Amino acid sequence: MLEIRELCVAYGGVSALNAISLTVNAGDFVSIVGPNGAGKTTLFKSISGSVPVRSGHITFEGRDLIAIPAHERPHLGIAHVPEGRQVFPNLTVEENLEMGAYTETGRRDWKSNLAFILNLFPILDERRRQLAGTLSGGQQQMVAIARGLASSPKLLMLDEPSMGLAPAVADSIFEAIVEIRKARNLTVLLVEQRAVEALESCDRGYVIETGRVVLEGEQNELLSDERVRKAYLGM
């Protein structure tokens, strides 16, 4: 579904991604872990089109993604749930979800998507007329994920969904992500610093450090790798 080959991105002459390559097959749950500043968020921005690519290739379902303007990429089935949630604070919960449903498939599937979202996150049903900016951090993260789902994506990209959340709340968010993947058979690409949860949830994973892929493999391979266990799992 998603193929990235030798991708390079630089900010002001400073390299952020250095010849990164990765593959996400349809139906996969792929996790990307690594320290702060490794380039994980830049990778997502490259896919969604919010940062320019210096060189390399990104293809989505066989199409050259770099040649497609950023505002058209959601219509291909790519949903990017950004780091820091970035809800529309002065819109209600339901209005935030409607903003996610602006794609053709999102408009077509609005009723069924809304029913799925409110069943998945019952608190959002209770708060659907409440301004999103007045919600707790965990509830705002639910809104951000739900807004992505409202577009009827084929690929759901989640950037640090546990950031700033209490451990119990973060656990519930991870449980919801796993449930979404199972219920919708979605392809999921996750960037996350909570490496244990990220790797335990995925089929395959990548470890990125200083803009490079330093390790990749199936879930069991990464969980048993001594370098991963010491650096990211605290074992």
For 180-213, b where at least 16 C-beta lie within 10 A, e where not — what string? bbeebebbbbbbbbbbebbbebbebbbbbeebbb
235, pLDDT greater than 60:
no
Domains for the chain: give ranges and CATH numbers.
1-77+154-175+183-235 (3.40.50.300), 85-153 (no CATH)
CA distance 23 to 103: 25
Look at the block and give the residue holding tokens 């303007």.
Answer: 69
Rounded to 5 degrees, φ, ψ at 126 are: -65, -35
- The pLDDT, as a whole number, for residue 206 is 95
- The pLDDT, as a whole number, for residue 234 is 65
**pTM tops 0.85:** yes
Going by their DSSP bridges, the two strands 55-60 and 2-11 should be labelled as: antiparallel
Q: What is the mean pLDDT of the chain?
A: 93
Q: Which amino acid is at 155?
A: L
| The 3-state secondary structure of the chain, one letter per residue | CEEEEEEEEEECCEEEEEEEEEEECCCCEEEEECCCCCCHHHHHHHHHCCCCCCEEEEEECCEEHHHCCHHHHHHHCEEEECCCCCCCCCCEHHHHHHHHCCCHHHHHCHHHHHHHHHHHCHHHHHCCCCEHHHCCHHHHHHHHHHHHHCCCCCEEEEECCCCCCCHHHHHHHHHHHHHHHHHHCCEEEEECCCHHHHHHHCCEEEEEECCEEEEEEEHHHHHHCHHHHHHCCCC
Residue 24 · residue 34 · CB < 8 Å: no
Tell me the pLDDT tens digit for each residue of 139-188: 999 999 999 999 999 999 999 999 989 999 999 999 999 999 999 989 99
Tell me the pLDDT tens digit for each residue of 93-134: 999 999 999 999 999 999 999 999 999 999 999 999 999 999
Better-predicted residue by pLDDT, 194 or 77: 77
218, pLDDT greater than 90:
yes
Mean pLDDT of all residues in 208-214:
93
Q: How far is CA 45 from CA 48, 124, 176, 199, 228, in A?
A: 5, 27, 24, 22, 25
Residue 167 · residue 2 · CB < 8 Å: no
Residue 81 · residue 148 · CB < 8 Å: yes
- The pLDDT, as a whole number, for residue 204 is 94
- The pLDDT, as a whole number, for residue 216 is 94
